[in-house]
Structure 1
Amino acid sequence: MNLRQVEIFRVVMTNGTTARAAEVLHVSQPAVSKMIQELERSLGFDLFQRIKGRLHPTQEGQLFFREVEQAFLGLTHLRGAAARIRDYGSGEIRIACLSALSTNVLPRALQAFMKSNPNVAVTFQARMSSNVRDLVASGQFDLGIVADEIDRTGVEIEEFAEFRVAVALPKGHPLEALKVIRPADLAGQPFIALAPEDTTRREAEIAFHRAGVTIRPVMETPYSTTICAMVAAGVGIGLVNPLTAEPYEGQGLTLRPFEPALHFRTLLITPPNRLPSRILEDFIRDLRGAI
Structure 2
Amino acid sequence: MKFRQLEAFHSLMISGSTVRAAELMQITQPAVSRSIAELEASLGFTLFDRVRGRMVPTTEGQLFFREVSESFKGMDRLRSAAASIRDFGSGHLKVASLSALGAEVVPKAIQDFRRSNPRVRITLQILPSAQVRNQVVDGNFDIGLAADEIDRSGVDTTHFGGFSGVIAMSSHHPLAKRDILGPEDLAGQPMIGLAPEDRARDRFDAILSEAGVSPEYVVETPSSTTTCALALAGDAVGLVNPLVVEGFVARGLEVRPFAPSVNFRSFLLFRPDIQRSKLVRDFTKCLFDLRNAIV
Q: Distance in 2 between matches of 1:253 and 1:84?
A: 48
How far the C-alpha of 1:103 sits from its partner, in A, is 1.6
Equivalent residue, structure 2, for 1:133: 133
How far the C-alpha of 1:247 sits from its partner, in A, is 0.6
Equivalent residue, structure 2, for 1:184: 184
Pair 83,217 (structure 1): closer, same or farther in 2 beyond 3 Å: farther
Q: TM-score, normalised by structure 2?
A: 0.68
Unmatched segments (≥5 aa) in structure 2: 1-76
How far the C-alpha of 1:250 sits from its partner, in A, is 3.9
Q: Distance in 2 between matches of 1:202 and 1:117?
A: 40
Amino acid at match of 2:149: E
Q: Distance in 2 between matches of 1:221 and 1:82?
A: 46
Pair 158,258 (structure 1): closer, same or farther in 2 beyond 3 Å: same
Q: Distance in 2 between matches of 1:151 and 1:184?
A: 33
Q: Is the 8 A contact 2:205 2:215 kept in 1?
A: no
Partner SS state of residue 146, structure 1 = strand
Equivalent residue, structure 2, for 1:168: 168
How far the C-alpha of 1:113 sits from its partner, in A, is 0.4
Q: Distance in 1 between matches of 2:207 and 2:149?
A: 18
Partner SS state of residue 249, structure 1 = helix
Unmatched segments (≥5 aa) in structure 1: 1-80
User: What's the % identity of the aligned pairs?
Assistant: 42
Find runs of 4+ consecutive structure 1 residues off by over 2 angstroms: 81-90
Equivalent residue, structure 2, for 1:67: none
**C-alpha distance after superposition, 1:64-92 (max 9, x if no partner):** xxxxxxxxxxxxxxxxx979948966421
1:98 correspondence with 2:109: no
Q: Distance in 1 between matches of 2:235 and 2:84?
A: 46
Pair 83,256 (structure 1): closer, same or farther in 2 beyond 3 Å: farther
Equivalent residue, structure 1, for 2:214: 214
How far the C-alpha of 1:171 sits from its partner, in A, is 0.7
Paired residues, number: 212
How far the C-alpha of 1:213 sits from its partner, in A, is 0.5
Equivalent residue, structure 1, for 2:202: 202
**C-alpha distance after superposition, 1:221-254 (max 9, x if no partner):** 1001000001111241000111201111142310
Amino acid at match of 1:222: P
Q: Is the 8 A contact 2:168 2:255 kept in 1?
A: yes
| 223-232 or 247-256, which deviates more | 247-256
Amino acid at match of 1:190: P
Q: Is the 8 A contact 1:84 1:121 kept in 2?
A: no
Q: Distance in 1 between matches of 2:84 and 2:127?
A: 26
Structure number, greater radius of gyration: 2
Pair 87,192 (structure 1): closer, same or farther in 2 beyond 3 Å: farther
Equivalent residue, structure 1, for 2:193: 193
Equivalent residue, structure 1, for 2:232: 232
